Chains A and B, each alone.
Chain A
């Protein structure tokens, strides 16, 4: 009797949750699933000067698999890896510091982290251009201080791309790291030190393992967008090292256009990201399984 009542209630719960997510489902199918279907179809067609010819062709994939586009893929992966690692290394101390601050200071510091979001991304990137330029603020200052005799050529290099990428994505790493470090019981570090661990050992054996979830979340938020980076390489990078996002754009922008190539590259990137997500999810599940303790 009670059982059937329970199942009835569960049914109703299931139904209502379905109904509630219906608008989102419709939205996503119209503006995400269907466009991607079109992209998929385009990737198997032949290019024309402005549009596509409706002739089935595997040329685009053939080119990708023959390695013609290996360089932009490698460059993008390298950029994403560097950005993520630098964000972890730079973000961790900041997140740790905020997590250990007094309650009032904490909120203030968090606001400082969030403030950059209030300004448009393009404006922020342009200000970096002004800052890094050959006769820009940074070079002027360093020359005036006599630290350098010639302006540094940083703008339009890969270094500039990484620098600005890290600047833009750092908050996305700090915030999830902060949220795990904030929950960390700092007496555990006392216990570790009491048992003979110095500060470094205590960090690697206690703090870091307990912050793994934050690193996972931060990596997810930084690595994947960094992989498809277009705007930052375009504005502060150079044309010798094109990232995959730029290559895809050029395939559509430059005439003759090559829609199938752009589509195939987009799809390949999507599949690579999906694969990475699966790997990370697997790692995370593995971690969760071991972590029966929360």
Chain B
């Protein structure tokens, strides 16, 4: 088994650079995801690995072999297409058998292997049906069986769950992980859905404007975002930008947009301490922040800020509070644990304390030319992002 290596890979469409100098090694057997908004170049990248697009520069390598210029039918790479692309004029059996028939394998072998594949995806009793007679989830399974029958080194999955409804999506995600474990080959998964990518991947790469912004294991990217983009694209976050006015041991003082000086406690053993005078952005995950009516007991490693509740959104698993602190707004996720709130629930306009551990104040390097996303830190921001995610 061989690694997939992308070397200085770029793709231009006319004047538009869809993929911009990507360098990456995807290890053999890994379940790797490319995650990014639509138009970030992730599908183009996938199509270059599959052979549907030729790179403008750079190379795609499978182990020692440069496969950049090979046509799709000569690559030991198979694809699950977004709309499955099952052949409508063939039975499910014939669909799965297609790859072997092209290779002119003997009939007995074809029958055996197709059966094996149909068993793998639990579709053995539907072989005689046609693609239009089965559901979306079943089409998905057949597409997987069809792609795996050629025993590829790598399976590419292009937004494979986008067409399914939520419950089925969650179910298929687990199924995909089981299939990955069963066949043991490299899976490269492309999605714009961060929860999908986080739950399924061994490692993932966050992409924006043709570039890989950050790559690593999901928890690493979530807990330690390397840029503003990965901080706000993966999960929810509060971003606070400002100029560092003073640095103490485990303290930074920020000149915040509201003109107030605020100090944030950070753990310098956990991350690099920024220099005074530099512009930085802090990322505070909403679920890391605790909210309470009474001032908590002072502790050395705890940040504390006083604010006022502006909005409350009840979401079942948790409640989202929007808390105004001066001109800043913080989003806070809190579960309804009666252990904490045995008194009456928090209400609109109430004055509250927000507090979080110093390791959760994550200093994000502001990359050259990177701007704060408009939807963040303003009132409608939260809701807009919920709507956006639900749509596609």
Which A residues fall within an 8 A CB radius of B?
185, 187-188, 190-198, 201, 205-206, 209-210, 291-294
Contacts and interface: CB of A to CB of B under 8 A. Distances in A.
A187 B102 contact: no
A193 B98 CA distance: 11
27 contacts: A185-B85, A187-B81, A187-B85, A188-B87, A188-B88, A190-B79, A190-B81, A191-B81, A191-B87, A192-B98, A193-B51, A193-B72, A194-B52, A194-B72, A194-B73, A194-B77, A195-B99, A196-B102, A197-B73, A201-B102, A205-B102, A210-B89, A292-B130, A293-B88, A293-B131, A293-B132, A294-B88
A291 B89 contact: yes
Contacts of A293: 88-89, 130-133
Contacts of B72: 190, 193-194
B132 A294 contact: yes
Contacts of B99: 195-196
Contacts of B60: none
Contacts of A197: 73, 98, 102
B147 interface: yes
B388 interface: no
A194 B98 CA distance: 11
Contact of A194 (B50, B83, B130): B50
A195 B132 contact: no
A192 B237 CA distance: 43
Contact of A193 (B71, B83, B131, B150): B71
A194 B79 contact: yes
Given A185-B85, A187-B83, A293-B89, A195 B147 contact: yes
Contacts of B83: 187
Contacts of A190: 52, 72, 79, 81, 85
Contacts of A188: 85, 87-88
A118 to B, nearest CB: 37
A187 B50 CA distance: 13
Interface string B129-143: 011110000000000
A197 to B, nearest CB: 5
Contacts of B52: 190, 194
A293 B94 CA distance: 14
Given A188-B87, A205-B98, 19 more contacts: A187-B81, A187-B83, A187-B85, A190-B52, A191-B86, A194-B51, A194-B52, A194-B73, A194-B77, A194-B78, A195-B98, A195-B99, A196-B102, A197-B73, A197-B98, A197-B102, A206-B87, A210-B89, A293-B131
A206 B73 CA distance: 15
Interface in B109-133: 130-133
A123 B72 CA distance: 50
Given A190-B72, A292-B130, A195 B102 contact: yes
Which of A193, A194, A294: most chain B Cβ within 10 A?
A: A194
B73 A198 contact: yes
Contacts of A205: 98, 102
Contacts of B50: 194
Contacts of B211: none
B103 interface: yes
A288 to B, nearest CB: 12
B150 A195 contact: yes
A281 to B, nearest CB: 20
A198 B71 CA distance: 8
Given A291-B89, A293-B89, A195 B78 contact: yes
Given A190-B52, A190-B72, A195 B85 contact: no
Contacts of B88: 188, 210, 293-294
Contacts of B73: 193-198
B331 interface: no
Contacts of A193: 51, 71-73
A212 to B, nearest CB: 8
A274 to B, nearest CB: 30
A198 B51 CA distance: 12
B146 interface: yes
Contacts of A195: 73, 78, 98-99, 102, 146-147, 150
B98 A292 contact: no
Contacts of A291: 89
A267 B130 CA distance: 44
Interface string B59-90: 00000000000011100011101010111110
Contacts of B85: 185, 187-188, 190-191
